[in-house]
Amino acid sequence: MNSKKTVTIFSPATVANVNCGFDVLGFAIEGMGDIITLTKVPKNGIRITSITGATLPLEASKNVAGVAGLAMLEYLKVDFGFELQIKKGIPLGSGTGGSAASAAAVVFGINQFLENPLSLEELAYFGMKGEVVASGNEHADNVAPAIFGGFTLIPGYDPFEVVSLPTPANLYVTIIHPHLVINTKDAREILPKVVPLQHAIQQAGYLAGFVSGLYTSNYNLISRSLKDVLIEPYRKELLPLFDKAKNIALQTGALGFGISGSGPSMFALCKGEEIADAVSEKLNSLYQTSEIKIDTHVSKVSEKGSRVISVYEE
Amino acid sequence: MNSKKTVTIFSPATVANVNCGFDVLGFAIEGMGDIITLTKVPKNGIRITSITGATLPLEASKNVAGVAGLAMLEYLKVDFGFELQIKKGIPLGSGTGGSAASAAAVVFGINQFLENPLSLEELAYFGMKGEVVASGNEHADNVAPAIFGGFTLIPGYDPFEVVSLPTPANLYVTIIHPHLVINTKDAREILPKVVPLQHAIQQAGYLAGFVSGLYTSNYNLISRSLKDVLIEPYRKELLPLFDKAKNIALQTGALGFGISGSGPSMFALCKGEEIADAVSEKLNSLYQTSEIKIDTHVSKVSEKGSRVISVYEE
């Protein structure tokens, strides 16, 4: 293998937490993602040769994609390395899984080069190793859907496990990205260390109801389960106009509305594209009257996760 | 309708909480239950004419079956009443849903007489009204499976909702009933009012994993999800030899082991009857060496809930 080969991977943006599933639930969206081109090189390790679309460290040990790739290469004990060209398509710090997408793309790409020695679940595990750089703790609720696509559940971290959940056919999402900076670590520190047992029970019921709703395409149950008594009451304080935006989205027919990941993006899950478009329009109107600038993105909940978009060999 | 008609209903014993699903999850078992014969009478209200198998108040307003029946009759505004003969087949205070079974049987029976004006979910709601007498708070995690059969989830109480979950074909349960008295109210008071957020998240992940496991008949996922970091650490202190019994059950091949409802009964969920029988045998041996007397009962997880077992009309 002295020929030069490159593989280019697309990994989608993702919404984590999804109201009732803090740290365990997430889903993939369409039309927004990171693109990484991997080139196999004789020298061990990971070298990042370019990053476009965002200002991020080129040093592999300080970059989520680099850290994830290095963890995987070390585990597999390969005697060569990779050069990465990273194109960020997900705005930094938006709360839609930008770091997870880059980590997902690199582990998915390495696996392609090696003819898939690892399962998607194992890739999510190594992808998660990159997340530590971004958020300071290991969580896989973005990286799992960025790899698997659709909805994913992390029922537990010990042992680490990913469950791929069904995606009802008619689920769309409106992403609302306000141009604010919320540090992921700050968003964690605002949370209480202890919660009422009663709230823990309620939230578990919502999550279980949501999972059941996905298996049965029961949009009413999905809607009733998109609640969050544990996290949202604290984090919404960081998001201007959150309550107003939520009321408008629900009145417009959204199944649910909440914070995407640790914010600042918000999401509205909707039955059908029309409602998702209407939510987008109304929330653009709302924020136009404020000092906060927003972008919105309407997408189907995507069953597609990371994938090869081109292979080049000479 | 001046003829005399009686309807006799069987409602099964149930296991609530099921490790990961405190207050929201339960399932029905076979071969153990309460039997109530209802006779329609001109006089409004509920009159309990006999109770066999246990010593319980005949006064309707102090009896779970009476309270549940009265709540339903009041809601339906009927201008007649019922006499009840109650045969308790579930040991009082065993933690296997005895009060729920009686409440379930009476509301199911009244519904039969009235040609089913209420849905099973509505019956669970009125059945729950009886539970207040027994435990001091409204919960439906026993009464829902006693009515629906199989596994049921209560994703929320506002609005009140019951989700009937699938029952994998090969699930058996061993019930271990130690002859101890644990007051349901005491078992609630031993619980903490607040829990670490981290434990709440873990437990929600287990419950969601368990629900997913039921939909996909994934026994490994079911097994890994039968964990309880919120309740068991406190309540197991009330149960002699709990840790030993759990270790033995898991080593014998049980998918999981935990406290049935608020105890003192314990349960082992097993894949296949052979393992359930083996668990029963080993735990009988364990407790024979102690001062605690136990009964064990092996059953399939039953898809059958409350049902008519005889109708008599003259």
Whether A138 shows a pLDDT value over 90: the answer reads no
Determine, for residues B209 and A23 on separate chains, whether the beta-carbon distance falls below 8 Å.
Answer: no
Collapsing DSSP to helix, strand or coil, B184 comes out as helix
pLDDT of B138: 74
Q: Does B151 touch chain A (CB under 8 A)?
A: no
Q: Does B180 touch chain A (CB under 8 A)?
A: no
Q: Which residues of A touch B225 (CB under 8 A)?
A: 155-156
Whether B134 shows a pLDDT value over 80: the answer reads no
Q: What's the mean pLDDT in B144-163?
A: 95
Query: Which positions 29-58 of A are in contact with B (Cβ < 8 Å)?
Result: none
Q: What's the mean pLDDT in A119-142?
A: 88
pLDDT of A287: 97
Q: pLDDT tens digits for B191-228?
A: 999 999 999 999 999 999 999 999 999 999 999 999 99
The shortest CB-CB distance from A195 to any of B156, B194, B210 is to B194
Determine, for residues B230 and A154 on separate chains, whether the beta-carbon distance falls below 8 Å.
Answer: no
Whether B148 and B220 share a structural domain: no
Whether B136 and B54 share a structural domain: yes
Determine, for residues A205 and B22 on separate chains, whether the beta-carbon distance falls below 8 Å.
Answer: no
Averaged confidence pLDDT in chain B: 94
Distance (Å, whole) CA B80 – CA B302: 34
CA A69 to chain B, closest CA, distance in angstroms equals 27
The shortest CB-CB distance from B196 to any of A193, A204, A211 is to A193
pLDDT of B137: 73
Locate the chain B residue with the closest alpha carbon to A222: B155
Q: Which residues of A touch B161 (CB under 8 A)?
A: 209, 221, 224
In chain B, pLDDT over 90 holds for what percent of residues? Answer: 87
Evaluate whether ipTM surpasses 0.85. yes
Whether A34 and A161 share a structural domain: yes
CA A241 to chain B, closest CA, distance in angstroms equals 26
CA B264 to chain A, closest CA, distance in angstroms equals 21
pLDDT of B3: 67
Q: Which two tokens stand for residue B42?
A: 């001109």
Whether B306 and B160 share a structural domain: yes
Q: pLDDT tens digits for B84-107?
A: 999 999 998 899 999 999 999 999
Whether A110 and A14 share a structural domain: yes
In this prediction, residue A3 has a pLDDT band, given cuts at 50, 70 and 90, of low
pLDDT of B2: 55
Q: pLDDT tens digits for A13-53?
A: 999 999 999 999 999 999 999 999 999 999 999 999 999 99
Taking every pair of C-alpha atoms in chain B, what is the biggest distance, in angstroms? 62
Distance (Å, whole) CA A217 – CA A210: 10
In this prediction, residue A134 has a pLDDT band, given cuts at 50, 70 and 90, of confident
CA B46 to chain A, closest CA, distance in angstroms equals 34
Whether A271 and A307 share a structural domain: no
The shortest CB-CB distance from B191 to any of A197, A210, A212 is to A197
Distance (Å, whole) CA B280 – CA B294: 10
Whether B66 and B160 share a structural domain: yes
Q: What's the mean pLDDT in B154-181?
A: 95
Averaged confidence pLDDT in chain A: 94
Whether A205 and A109 share a structural domain: no
- The strand pair at A81-87 and A45-52 is best described as parallel
Taking every pair of C-alpha atoms in chain A, what is the biggest distance, in angstroms? 62
pLDDT of B1: 47
DSSP state of A241: T
Distance (Å, whole) CA B162 – CA B121: 6
B101: CATH: 3.30.230.10
Catalytic residue, chosen from B6, B8, B184, B252, is B184
Whether B296 and B307 share a structural domain: no
CA A271 to chain B, closest CA, distance in angstroms equals 21
Locate the chain B residue with the closest alpha carbon to A230: B197
Whether A206 and A260 share a structural domain: yes
Q: Which residues of B touch A165 (CB under 8 A)?
A: 212
pLDDT of B314: 80
A282: CATH: 3.30.70.890
Q: pLDDT tens digits for A148-196?
A: 999 999 998 888 999 999 999 999 999 999 999 887 777 888 999 999 9
Collapsing DSSP to helix, strand or coil, B46 comes out as strand
Q: pLDDT tens digits for A80-110?
A: 999 999 999 999 889 999 999 999 999 999 9
Whether A181 and A224 share a structural domain: yes
Residues of A recognised as catalytic: 131, 184
- Which one-letter amino acid corresponds to residue A264? P
Cα–chain-centroid distance for residue B193? 24
Whether A27 and A160 share a structural domain: yes
Q: Does B158 touch chain A (CB under 8 A)?
A: no
Q: pLDDT tens digits for B294-310?
A: 999 999 999 999 999 99
Based on the structure, what is the number of domains in chain B? Answer: 2
The shortest CB-CB distance from A221 to any of B20, B163, B215 is to B163
Domain that holds residue B295: 171-300
Q: Which residues of B touch A224 (CB under 8 A)?
A: 155-156, 159, 161
